[in-house]
Structure 1
Amino acid sequence: MEQIITRKARPGDLDVLLTFEQGIIAAERPFDPTLKEGEIHYYDIAWMITAPHVEIVVAELDNEIIGSGYARMEDSKVYLKHPKYCHLGFMYVKPEHRGKGVNHKILAALKQWAVSHNITELRLEVYNENLPARKAYEKAGFTPNLLEMRIGLT
């Protein structure tokens, strides 16, 4: 049986991770008319790989990177119970490996890292219309918290 493992991302993973980033952007374009045309970047992945307050995790199958995600420690708003939280993002699984529990393994590794840093709260953002992603996060125990709304003026 195939064994999916997770590990901390390394600088040598950068090319694959940049490809994943473009996959995320392509998947999200239909949900966000405000994204610029052409190639854009959400993240500075090279910097994030070595940043002490960020953990990028990759999932591997037979020495091939098939998924990714990150946790980034952030200061909470002063009025919240928890002083810090981890923002999760960069969640991506190659299409041919979806439905195999890859996202679950990545989330488990990120949760473990957060707990090891005494973090008690995880947060993430997902487009409201992205029902498959919402269902996956709800299955992992996340609940909706706040809906951001927008209106274009031009």
Structure 2
Amino acid sequence: MEQIRVREATLKDLDVLLSFEQGIIAAERPFDSTIREGEVHYYDIAAMIYEPHISVVVAELDGQVIGSGYARIEEAKHYLKHPQHAYLGFMYVLPEFRGRGVNRAIVENLAGWARSRGITEIVLDVYDANEPAVRAYEKAGFTRHLLQMRMPV
């Protein structure tokens, strides 16, 4: 049985994490015509690694980094029951390792990190039309909650 190991990311992982970021952007472009062409960066990954309210993790298999994710503690809207939640992002698994429990291992690790900080709610954004990603998150325990809509003017 393959043993997936999830650990905190370090600056030594930065090159592979930057390539994962480009993989995320390439995967999202077909779902979002508003993402501009050319090189785009969503994150300042190096800075995030050092932030105490963010956990950036990588998944490894046989010493190879095969996936990533982060949890960021955010203030919740004042009308919600929970004062803070953990926002998950930067969720990526190399295509050849998808369907092998990597995403679930990353989510479980980040959920444990959030729980250890008193967080009781985890949220993330996923494109509604990205059914494989939606299914993966549902398998990890997420439920559909809100659909954001847009209209260019």
Report the TM-score range of the alignment, normalised by the length of the smaller protein.
over 0.9
Q: Supply the AA of the counterpart residue of 1:4.
A: I
Q: Which residue of 1 aligns with 2:107?
A: 107
CA distance, structure 1, for counterparts of residue 137 and residue 96 of structure 2: 19
Task: Tell me which moved more, 134-143 or 9-18.
Answer: 134-143
RMSD between aligned residues: 0.7
1:45-98 superposed Cα distances (whole Å, 9 cap, x missing partner): 000011000001100011110000100000001100000000001000001111
Q: Which residue of 1 aligns with 2:137?
A: 137
Percent identity of equivalent pairs? 64
Q: Supply the AA of the counterpart residue of 1:77.
A: K
Q: Which residue of 2 aligns with 1:71?
A: 71
Aligned positions, number = 153
Q: Supply the AA of the counterpart residue of 1:84.
A: Q
CA distance, structure 2, for counterparts of residue 127 and residue 2 of structure 1: 30
Q: Which residue of 2 aligns with 1:5?
A: 5
Moved over 4 A (4+): none
Q: Which residue of 1 aligns with 2:119?
A: 119
Q: Supply the AA of the counterpart residue of 2:33.
A: P
Gaps of 5+ in 1: none
| TM score, norm. by length of structure 2 | 0.98
Q: Which residue of 2 aligns with 1:81?
A: 81
Measured after TM superposition, the shift of residue 152 of structure 1 is 1.1
Measured after TM superposition, the shift of residue 124 of structure 1 is 0.2
CA distance, structure 2, for counterparts of residue 22 and residue 91 of structure 1: 12
